[in-house]
Structure 1
Amino acid sequence: MQVPHELAIGDVYYSPFLLVIVLSLIATWITIAILNKTRVSRLIAFPSTTFIAIMLLYMVGIDHFFLPF
């Protein structure tokens, strides 16, 4: 099975890492919305750093498990 090394939209080629970034951003927004709904976010001291950390965890997970290259 051959895995593509780039994504093609029309005649423009994109890195697969762009897809990983977009998916992790969406997953992080959903996670933050859940944290806000359950009021767990009030216990977080640095929300912006926490957002970046959660996004980084999703990026590593998606890249490692779902889009291996």
Structure 2
Amino acid sequence: MPVSFGPLGYAGLPGLILELEVYKKIYYAKKITINPKEEIKIEKLTKGIRVTEKEFHEMASSTMQKFKKNKGY
């Protein structure tokens, strides 16, 4: 499928990513509907905190450092 999209922000390939394995976790598509008959609505998030891209990368880096220090446990 000529759609540059995938799970967890993985994208950029010249096609749709249907399965992805990251740290022994597998993410995969269960169902694909082309031209759905009903409109797809995505509701605005109500939980969580708003962060900038810089803050996100800092949080991700910190979490990865802790993960490596504790060897994943």
Q: TM-score, normalised by structure 2?
A: 0.28
Give the number of the structure whose alpha-carbon radius of gyration is greater. 2
Bigger share in helix:
1
Higher relative contact order (CA 8 A, sep 6+): 1
